[in-house]
Structure 1
């Protein structure tokens, strides 16, 4: 019998497929020293009882209490870490004004490492407490502060993918907040990549550098080309914004006479390790290009309601073969919880299908076939995110990282509405998805290590 580092006993929910939930009732989850799920053992398996006999009562045996369940840790594909300091403000103005009046002045303050440390430590801790075990972060233009964010992720145990933002175009960015020039932007990016790769050597759960042009309007052609070359040189992740709003989408069409997707691809910025936020205005040719290059979409349903001028057609893009995960888009999205974004993803899809203009006849009001279920939205926040990053995360299955959140439905201050002990487990899952708040998340584990407890 193998000598496992940890064994957990309990009922888990995980995505079997984009549309199906796998329910593992009273299973054993055997975790090795690398923090990976080495075995999942069902009650009917021959060695279930021998494993129980061997480990029960030991310090490394963990049994869930009644009313507790395992969920995979969430994968947040789009977080502006510095914007945590302004979360919940100024969401009633247009994107362009929001960036220039609030966001860029805030991000410019991250040249102060003491201020950066205060904000970054809080956002990483907050996301972990909300069940987010992996986060894809935009930092700022400041190389040192961006590296500090990666170091904080490493220290707190979160799997962090961090990008030093590039904004080098003096015509499009405020003088108070931009890269000094294109050469400096590319040099700082390369030095940042090398520093994070060195940090990753001593980080069990992994930290990763991400090539990060903020979006096409903020970058010169030379910077976009150079960033594509750096991503290829170091096989690095890439993130940016793509076709988010009428304004951003229209700007790129005016500049390049093509949509964002094809413009980004021309600079080598669409590849298997690319994640593009929003993408609401992709047409079918754009979506097929995403599918062909392995580029994923970070769907940000709360943020989109404020700034994107449209609803992402998740079901349609999935049918074309595009990988899609979920993003909070702090602070364009006010909530650090992917539970909230799961709920909004379902709501938005229903509004897209049914339409919102009551003056139109029902048959002309919406886009048929657009709705997604709560099971599908959960997939986006977990397995979909893992697939978007090409990492073995987001599922509770063998050969995946033990990244989990333990949900307590009997939390004394906020019991969930489960009155029948024999309630159908899929119904319990749905109630968790719709009703859980942060206080229900009792523990969070990343790569086999406990990183949060309540």
Structure 2
């Protein structure tokens, strides 16, 4: 019989499909030396008792206590790592003003590597403590600080996809914070890609370079074209913002005579490894283009409540075959927790379906068939994120990585209302989705390695 590096015993919840949650009651999860789930064994399987006999009592056997459950690690598809320094502030002003008054001044400080190290170590640790095992990061325009973020992800055990931000349009970016010119922006990006690829050779859980035009308003056409070429040359992931707000959407239409999606596609930036944040103003043709190119959407429901001027029709885009995951959008979104964003995703979808203007008749107030369930929001935060990144993550299934949160419902300061010993497991799952706080996350594992624990 195979010699496993770890065996875990307990009840797990994982997405079976975008709408269904699979409950794996008291299963064994057999993890190999590469941190991959090699085998999952149900209690009724022939080798269940054999494996228990072989491993029970050994150091590499891990049995969940009563009231503890496994969840897949969360996949956060949109984090502005430097903005952790301003999280929770200035969310009451329009996007354009917010960027220029608060965000760009903060990000400009990351030329100071000591400051960058302090913030980046904190944000990676915070996200891990909130159950985020994989994060897709925007860094800043600074090459060295962006490489530093990738190194910190590597050291702390988080799977980090990191982008050096490009802002080379001098008409649309402040003098104190932008790339010197298009040529240097592209050269720095290429050097960044090569440095992170070299770093990745020694990182078990993986770190990845990401081609990152901030958004079309911050970049020249030449810069966007060059970034598309670099993404193709090195087969990297791509990230940007797309059709987020009235202002951003209107700017691109005025400049290029088309929506963001088609403009980005013209520059070679929509591909199977592309993730575009927000996308609230995509029309059906845009969504079809996303589905055709394999481009995914990062849905950022808390941030969208502040800056997007709309609610994204997640259910409609899913029906059209678009891959969708969930993003916190620190710090446009104030919370580092995807639990909070799962909850907001459900609430926002209900508001879109039911409408919010009582002056209108109920039949005219909302957009029919827009609601999503908590099962679907959980999928966005886990399996949907993995599919969006084309990585074997986000599910507790064979040949997927052992990226896991251990949820403890019995913590004295955050105890769940579970009084019936025979309570349905799906009801417990729902309570976890709506009630879990960081203190309920007892342990976090990435690629078979424990990276966070709470005593």
1:157-185 deviation line (CA, Å, top 9, x unaligned): 00000000000011000000000000000
**Structure 1 gaps, min length 5:** none
Aligned to 2:398: 398
1:369-402 deviation line (CA, Å, top 9, x unaligned): 0000000000000000000000000000000000
Q: Please give the alpha-carbon distance, in whole angstroms, between the structure 2 residues aligned to 1:272 and 1:358.
A: 42
Aligned to 2:259: 259
Q: Please give the alpha-carbon distance, in whole angstroms, between the structure 2 residues aligned to 1:48 and 1:423.
A: 25
* 1:333-352 equivalent positions in 2, closer than 5 A: 333-352=333-352
Query: Across the two proteins, how many residue pairs are aligned to each other?
Result: 454
Aligned to 1:160: 160
1:83-141 deviation line (CA, Å, top 9, x unaligned): 00000000000000000000000000000000000000000000000000000000000
Aligned to 1:243: 243
* 1:225-244 equivalent positions in 2, closer than 5 A: 225-244=225-244
Aligned to 1:442: 442
Q: Please give the alpha-carbon distance, in whole angstroms, between the structure 2 residues aligned to 1:67 and 1:403.
A: 20
Aligned to 1:171: 171
Q: Please give the alpha-carbon distance, in whole angstroms, between the structure 2 residues aligned to 1:152 and 1:378.
A: 27
Aligned to 2:207: 207
1:197 Cα deviation from its structure 2 partner: 0.1
Aligned to 1:294: 294
1:196-221 deviation line (CA, Å, top 9, x unaligned): 00000000000000000000000000
Q: Please give the alpha-carbon distance, in whole angstroms, between the structure 1 residues aligned to 2:196 and 2:260.
A: 28
Question: 3-state SS of the aligned residue for 1:62?
Answer: strand
1:43-75 deviation line (CA, Å, top 9, x unaligned): 000000000000000000000000000000000
1:414-446 deviation line (CA, Å, top 9, x unaligned): 110111111000000000000000000000000
1:412 Cα deviation from its structure 2 partner: 1.6
1:140 maps to 2:140: yes
Aligned to 2:325: 325
**Structure 2 gaps, min length 5:** none
Q: Please give the alpha-carbon distance, in whole angstroms, between the structure 2 residues aligned to 1:120 and 1:166.
A: 19
Q: Please give the alpha-carbon distance, in whole angstroms, between the structure 2 residues aligned to 1:412 and 1:39.
A: 34
Aligned to 1:107: 107
Q: Please give the alpha-carbon distance, in whole angstroms, between the structure 2 residues aligned to 1:351 and 1:375.
A: 18
Aligned to 1:271: 271
Question: 3-state SS of the aligned residue for 1:70?
Answer: strand
1:323-367 deviation line (CA, Å, top 9, x unaligned): 000000000000000000000000000000000000000000000
1:448 Cα deviation from its structure 2 partner: 0.1
Aligned to 2:381: 381
Q: Please give the alpha-carbon distance, in whole angstroms, between the structure 2 residues aligned to 1:420 and 1:165.
A: 51
Q: Please give the alpha-carbon distance, in whole angstroms, between the structure 1 residues aligned to 2:164 and 2:215.
A: 13
Question: 3-state SS of the aligned residue for 1:432?
Answer: helix
1:20 Cα deviation from its structure 2 partner: 0.1
Aligned to 1:84: 84
What's the C-alpha RMSD, in Å, of the aligned pairs? 0.2
Q: Please give the alpha-carbon distance, in whole angstroms, between the structure 1 residues aligned to 2:412 and 2:150.
A: 36
Aligned to 1:356: 356
Aligned to 1:190: 190
1:256-298 deviation line (CA, Å, top 9, x unaligned): 0000000000000000000000000000000000000000000
Taking structure 1 as the reference length, the TM-score comes to: 1.00
Q: Please give the alpha-carbon distance, in whole angstroms, between the structure 1 residues aligned to 2:211 and 2:413.
A: 43
Q: Please give the alpha-carbon distance, in whole angstroms, between the structure 2 residues aligned to 1:2 and 1:167.
A: 51
Q: Please give the alpha-carbon distance, in whole angstroms, between the structure 1 residues aligned to 2:421 and 2:82.
A: 44
Q: Please give the alpha-carbon distance, in whole angstroms, between the structure 2 residues aligned to 1:63 and 1:126.
A: 26
Q: Please give the alpha-carbon distance, in whole angstroms, between the structure 2 residues aligned to 1:389 and 1:116.
A: 26
1:311 maps to 2:306: no
Question: 3-state SS of the aligned residue for 1:40?
Answer: strand
